[in-house]
Amino acid sequence: MDAGAPIIPCSVVGSEEIYPKIGEFSPLARLLGVPYLPITPTFPLLGPLGGIPLPTKWTIEFGEPIETSHLGSDAGDDPMIVFEITDQVRETIQNTLFRNLARRGSVFFG
């Protein structure tokens, strides 16, 4: 916002299915120093091949730009303005996600 550049909302549907999570290896994750180590249908069963993502259909949609140039260079310091813009971006992305999820037929074939 300080630069006065427009904010472009972007929503992605489908990326969350490339590695469907069944569970977690919490003790091993702590041992390795990583936040979590997921169990998926292919990992750890297939070893390194389990890192190959499932072929899911993705929908990526960019929304209308949200202009911020009229807000001024110090708008980023005003919590209420930041809250309003954040809320507008969040609502735009969420509505786009709902619409694209409703349109999607199959995870794998669209």
Tens digits of residue pLDDT in 63-91: 999 999 888 888 888 899 999 999 999 99
Rounded mean pLDDT, 100-108: 89
Domain ranges in the chain are 1-18+54-110, 20-52
Q: Which residues lie closer than 8 Å to 92 by C-beta, 6 or more apart?
A: 9, 63, 64, 66
pLDDT at 9 over 90: yes
pTM score, two decimals? 0.75
- Phi and psi torsions of 44, nearest 5°: -95, 0
Tens digits of residue pLDDT in 20-57: 889 999 999 999 999 988 888 888 889 888 888 889 99
